[in-house]
Structure 1
């Protein structure tokens, strides 16, 4: 529309489409029943006139802003970016806009800061994808009691409304897969231990191994990034502790693990099996394609939005919905070649111990 031209109104759209203003309102606000043919005619008129609904005026009339907030950690990571996509789509289809506020770290203070920023924008409700304990989640809910909220990263027993993926179940699937292949010396690269999801994954891995009278032989912590996965794998190898498989807290760290193993001439899965978590779009294209745990984040985002919308439409009892991940088996896991791999690692460990002892003796003799 050129400068100076009259802004299109609801009445203009109704006249061009040959329908009532009430019908146009139902279409643009995705409310009420309208036939597909009429909806198409109205949307064609909207496009021709470049009509933009006045959401502010609508919100004032309904005492709603028709917007929801999403408080989340780093959207450069796979899970938050996919959740954002799913939430935005569901919100748009229901006539809501989405406002994102980044949580600057972990813990109650960071989440409070992000949610407060969203409340200042007059959002109708908030989705919170930030790692919180049950106690801290309840405190956030208390602090913002006038803002309906749904949490996406809290323990399942939290006394708040939540839409969650069953992280413990997914971790157990990964550990059982390696055990069924015959692995008994399993290491792990986990995410930050102050993350609720990571605690559940560690617990799932550990409980499954414990049921077989086993334990993780070594573990390293990353920050979810490929670079941290690489550094963690280098540290595992440098430790000299023999292992035939690695459980990794997400696919992005698994990328770094694969690189570190490749640089040191180790074959995956011949020497070391690697299993990730998330099933990112790239995981099937890695060399080798990555065995992983699939989490459907876009669908979870849509479920979380509809849970929040139900709260906006009327009071509901507190409830938690759990969605279970699934195992995706690809080429990065296989039965261990026990003899050759473990003998090499054990020999390396003996050499390292010998060099350390020799250095200690030389220092003592000075």
Structure 2
């Protein structure tokens, strides 16, 4: 220990990380590693540092941590389509995980015109000296500038399929779609229509591919997909249109819960009941999906866990210099009352 009197530091005001380091007889970098619970610290050293922190009543602030590590301890997050349930829920999960790890979050959003705002949003985040970047990028059109940024600082993409040379995390969209189709097949359905999401969305493309490949593997015809826009209004239009769904279709796999909701409503206006006349499966498991009439069978995505996985991957890249190239979370089929065996 040094001869520094901790009371001197306290008389100047709040003790600093350097005061703790001097009292413990270690470097301020060592104090930082103890604060951040890094591995490879001798237990005796850890005890000395913790005792010094207690004696000096030291509470590490984010500014002190930044000074000790030469980092801002700030994560930049670019969120595409923030009004959609998936991106907004993933963002909340990441924010919680970041706070738990002692990081702040700066967010920028891009909506219906990504080509006009993506570069500016990325520049805004980089201007805040973020340590790393998370891009919640469900649309391919949001990825135009991400490759360049990812070469300059740790970056993770939240995206349904891998991107070359960029760390990516996702819920396994392919497996989720297979769960949905298999459920309908097990009930006995053989003519299953897919109400797909927009083609620019990675999630929608992967789900549509899984649907087609699963039916083809069973030797079944693959009906022409109907491409929607994620909204319940679009689903309603399809359900209410007597020409939209072929007469021999006994089940519909909707690419999200909102389109499934509108579809059920539209079918009802024509006297077609779910699941008595046609079964419907959604995707996402919105908080309200259990209260649809009928309660919706759907594929649950754990967006909170997805956000946490994105933060964990960034921390691994920041603090250990490496991270898995592609992290996946398994979805879960939730069976409710909107599906049943075909009656025709």
TM exceeds 0.5?
A: yes
Give the number of aligned pairs.
310
Q: Shift of residue 57 of structure 1? A: 6.0
> Which residue in 2 is equivalent to 1:289?
295
Alignment of 1:65-104 (within 5 A): 65-104=72-111
Alignment of 1:50-65 (within 5 A): 55-56=62-63, 58-65=65-72
The whole-number CA distance in structure 1 between the counterparts of 2:300 and 2:245 is: 31
> Which residue in 2 is equivalent to 1:141?
147
Aligned with 2:128 (options 73, 98, 121)? 121
Q: Compute the TM-score of the two structures, normalised by the length of structure 2.
A: 0.78
The whole-number CA distance in structure 1 between the counterparts of 2:238 and 2:97 is: 38
The whole-number CA distance in structure 1 between the counterparts of 2:261 and 2:285 is: 12
Q: Shift of residue 67 of structure 1? A: 1.2
Aligned with 2:208 (options 202, 205, 219)? 202
The whole-number CA distance in structure 2 between the counterparts of 1:306 and 1:10 is: 32
Post-superposition Cα deviations, 1:134-193, rounded to whole Å, max 9, x if no partner, equal: x98596233442221001115236332111111111111111111121112222211110
The answer to whether 1:193 aligns with 2:199 is: yes
Q: Compute the TM-score of the two structures, normalised by the length of structure 1.
A: 0.74
Structure 2 counterpart SS, 1:72: strand
Structure 1, unaligned stretches of length 5 or more?
1-8, 13-19, 339-366
Structure 2 counterpart SS, 1:238: coil
The whole-number CA distance in structure 2 between the counterparts of 1:71 and 1:140 is: 10
The answer to whether 1:226 aligns with 2:232 is: yes
Structure 1 pair 154–291 and aligned structure 2 pair: CA distance change class (3 A): closer
Alignment of 1:331-346 (within 5 A): 331-338=337-344
Alignment of 1:138-287 (within 5 A): 140-156=146-162, 158-235=164-241, 237-239=242-244, 241-242=246-247, 243-287=249-293
Structure 1 pair 274–98 and aligned structure 2 pair: CA distance change class (3 A): same
Post-superposition Cα deviations, 1:2-22, rounded to whole Å, max 9, x if no partner, equal: xxxxxxx6459xxxxxxx9x9
Q: Is the 1:83–1:298 contact (alpha carbons within 8 Å) kept by the matching residues of 2? A: yes
Q: Is the 1:137–1:160 contact (alpha carbons within 8 Å) kept by the matching residues of 2? A: no
Q: Is the 1:183–1:245 contact (alpha carbons within 8 Å) kept by the matching residues of 2? A: yes
| Structure (1/2) with the larger helix percentage | 1
Structure 1 pair 285–141 and aligned structure 2 pair: CA distance change class (3 A): same
Q: Shift of residue 31 of structure 1? A: 5.0
Structure 2, unaligned stretches of length 5 or more?
1-12, 17-23
CA RMSD of aligned residues (A): 3.4
Q: Is the 1:229–1:256 contact (alpha carbons within 8 Å) kept by the matching residues of 2? A: yes
Q: Shift of residue 109 of structure 1? A: 6.7
